[in-house]
Structure 1
Amino acid sequence: MKIYPSEDIAALKPYTYYASAGYCKPEDTLTWKCGENCEANAQFQPFASGGDGNATQYWYVGYDPALKTVIVAHQGTDMSKSGAVATIMDIAQVHPSKSLFPGVSANVLVHKGFAESHSRSAPAVLAAVEKTLKEPGTTKHVTLVGHSLGAALSLLDGIYLPLHVPGITFSVIGYGMPRVGNKAFADYVDAHVKSLVRINNGEDPVPIMPGMYYASSGYRHPSGEIHISNKDRKWYKCAGQENPSAECSDGSGASIFSGTSLSIYIYILLYEIAYAGVA
């Protein structure tokens, strides 16, 4: 099992803050005044934001001149919002919208709640990305970030946006990402999303949900898992889809009774890495 390089771990810090800022209200991300999460990336230039935090998760789009990438972030689940809870509970599978995902195989099926939530913000996010890419000085690179439900929405964006914005390099960085679709979906992601990192901490249950055998065609993660082991706190690079190793989420002993908030990921990046001498 390969260890994830320390320099790559350290490079995730700004994206972790961007994912955390996804939980902030649109008016705060649009002015980039959301406390520590915004201050950590003070150079960020916001261009658009939206969502209501309930039926439609908060989102924002802008540009980081230091990282030389457009940032698109989606909010994770706020369990106090009935609409957000309904989204994650709607685990039936559907075909992706033909208008949003033209040309995607009919064999591809995705989580209904995630798909419907994504569809409510997709046109606005696309317009914001296109506008941001036209700004002077921006590079042709877009990074999509999110935690939990926000990570699922970012993965869907990682498929959706390239179908409408050609000639751009896209990267997806998700924290505690749930399963989003069936094996055909996972295979499509592996074939088309060239840069995907799924960071899972210890026995966080979200990455093992929905269960692999829920729904008629089941659920399956694409490749790209980086697992932070509870046993030795090392970051393991888990090869392939649904790696069963004890150093990966599937074999870690995770259950629905354990949990990891995004603040834990920030703690790991700020303190555990610094203690190890890589920050």
Structure 2
Amino acid sequence: MPYESLLTDADFFLDTLDPSLFPGVPKGVKVHNGFGEAHKDTAQSVLSAVQTTLSQHQTSKVTLVGHSLGGALSLLDSIYLPLHLSTTPGDTKITYKTVVYGVSRVGNPAFANYVDQHVDLTRVNNDNDLIPIVPGRFLGFAHPNGEVHIQDDEKTWVGCPGG
């Protein structure tokens, strides 16, 4: 359905993370329920694909990348995967890097703080894009740190605090 991502974006109440997918994450960490449900639908497939890729390519580095809704899911996966994958088959510690583009706010301030403490994140936004400022902070949503803005000249990038 071509409008499925719009419906997911519009379903934006804060909800707790599924403890079976996010064991040990504090209960105060809440996320956009549409994003949480979409993540739940893909989590096992993503985990399986990453496990297969790590094994087949004998690597210990995972880079998560996404745009808009895909960025929100990548951000959730950047918390989810380390909880289920600690080492590669050769007992090498896995390292993660997450880069998201034009992502809206995914969770509450506790979520943003958790991401700041556990995720190597870069959030890239065009200074004129409205998507990264929704859902509003007045609804209890917050961004983690790691934001850079692409300026109007499309050549200049500036770092910004979370928000």
Cα offset, 1:138, TM superposition: 2.8
> In the alignment, which residue of structure 2 is the partner of 1:127?
48
> Which amino acid in structure 2 is aligned with residue 147 of structure 1?
H
Segments of structure 1 that go 5 or more residues without pairing to the other structure are 1-53, 55-80, 243-279
Q: 1:196 and 2:121 equivalent?
A: yes
| Residue 101 of structure 1, aligned match among 19, 22, 41 | 22
Q: 1:145 and 2:34 equivalent?
A: no
Segments of structure 2 that go 5 or more residues without pairing to the other structure are 87-92
After superposition, the C-alpha distances for 1:101-158 in whole angstroms (9 at most, x for unaligned) are 00110110100000000110100110111111111x4320000011111100000000
Cα offset, 1:83, TM superposition: 2.2
Instruction: State how far apart, in whole Å, the 1-side matches of 2:58 and 2:103 are.
Output: 28
Q: How many residues align?
A: 157
Aligned-partner SS, 1:237? strand
Aligned-partner SS, 1:122? helix
| Residue 133 of structure 2, aligned match among 190, 195, 208 | 208
> In the alignment, which residue of structure 2 is the partner of 1:234?
156
Normalization by structure 1: what TM-score?
Answer: 0.55
1:1-279 equivalences under 5 Å are: 54=1, 81-135=2-56, 137-166=57-86, 167-193=93-119, 195-214=120-139, 218-230=140-152, 233-238=155-160, 240-242=161-163
Cα offset, 1:209, TM superposition: 0.7
- Aligned Cα root-mean-square deviation (Å): 1.3
After superposition, the C-alpha distances for 1:1-20 in whole angstroms (9 at most, x for unaligned) are xxxxxxxxxxxxxxxxxxxx
Cα offset, 1:232, TM superposition: 7.5
Cα offset, 1:231, TM superposition: 6.0
Instruction: State how far apart, in whole Å, the 1-side matches of 2:106 and 2:12 are.
Output: 9
Give every structure 1 segment of 4 or more consecutive aligned residues whose post-TM-superposition deviation is greater than 4 Å: none
